[in-house]
A and B are shown apart, each in its own frame.
Chain A
């Protein structure tokens, strides 16, 4: 077992619009690794390829070439169980209440797993109780405990983001992949997400998240991956990137001016 939860090697992806359009290469030989039990930030300008990279990792879009390994294996049903994912601007099933939504995602996440079989060894009632307990805990964690019985269609943007985060956490994953988890949140919401990520990190969960908010990255991350125009230009320790600079923002700005970015 390597020390990395995700390893990406020479990933290439291009898109073609209409048949008369030229193929556009969005990811160019992208290689990076996400260390175990650490928080990794994924940073880059708009359109630099962050979301495309994440979508390639989870096979929502298919790579042209390259290798992607999760826990030293290609993505499969078994290692998907260890992953919690939150997309950018999550659209959720609005016909569900918060409770129904989390119950649905919990059941999907543990269906057919050993974890689920272990739980069924007690009794059916115990498993339901266990699930309800987990749902209550996670709702409490994201501050939605009072909205448990409300339909998601009545939720604000910030509340939907929290519910999305809750579904990523409900099955207690080993790896969290979050695409812009702080976007659309008010200062309280951002603070809450940061606290949750810190808490998960303490538990030894590996976290990989993309963001534009360099201040938050600096506060949360140990490792940094920087992408620019589809190419990885930095993949190492955050402190190393920031050496000689008082903040990540200044380091980023300086390196941009240096035309490094």
Chain B
């Protein structure tokens, strides 16, 4: 356990000291400030624009971290062979991989909390605070699912490909329901069956996409919130297990 914590801490330090993180943070702050500017331009929609744009910025920023850092986090260790020194120490490959995973997860969480606090500063409305925390957890779980997939794929394929797969998976999870309309129009039972299978194996992000002013003002049912955490945790567990399985058998040449 201590070894895993040490690796997570080192990974966190590595990522914080990288330029990519600083660039992502600056872009996110700029976009949040832009949403404030745009909100001010609209007469009666200030809060809606601020919330929708601001929350989207927070999700994209965390997704950027998950995709760009996540796809290289293991590949870089193998390519530069820095992992050899660590794997020669009394730690298992699983501890190494999970340690790296939590290092980036902690950074993503910190990034989310910072940006959410920044956004809350402009709302100046304490009654939304609890809901904004729920939305933050939702965004965090979604990007962690994508990151765990990217991490697993980066063990077996090139980082650019794992990044593209990760992005496709994110979009697939959000947009799969849009196909529903066309499937119903076609009235073909085979295509309907295919669609159902495709929908079932997608992470169904669209069902738990709470980043809007509606969810900020309305409270999210607790059961739904707990379901969301359990559902996304299963996806994370699945991808992490596959990643550990593959990494355990990988030759580090």
Contact = CB atoms under 8 A, between A and B. Distances in A.
B80 interface: yes
Give the interface size class of chain B: 20 to 34
A95 interface: yes
B88 A85 contact: yes
Interface residues of A, number: 31
A87 B81 CA distance: 9
A232 B17 CA distance: 46
B34 interface: no
30 contacts: A55-B253, A58-B84, A60-B87, A62-B249, A62-B251, A77-B90, A78-B90, A81-B90, A83-B88, A85-B88, A87-B84, A90-B81, A90-B84, A90-B85, A91-B82, A92-B82, A92-B85, A93-B10, A95-B14, A96-B10, A104-B6, A105-B85, A107-B2, A107-B6, A108-B3, A109-B89, A111-B3, A111-B90, A112-B2, A177-B88
Contacts of B42: none
Interface in B68-101: 80-82, 84-92
Contacts, number: 76
A240 B176 CA distance: 73
Contacts of B126: none
Interface string A108-125: 110111000000000000
Contacts of A80: 88-90
Given A91-B80, A93-B14, A15 B89 contact: no
B6 A60 contact: no
Interface in A117-156: none
B252 interface: yes
Interface string B7-41: 10010011001100000000000000000000000
A171 to B, nearest CB: 9
A53 interface: no
Contacts of B251: 15, 60-62
Contacts of A111: 2-3, 6, 90-91
Nearest to A56: B251
A108 B86 contact: yes
B253 A61 contact: yes
A164 interface: yes
A167 interface: yes
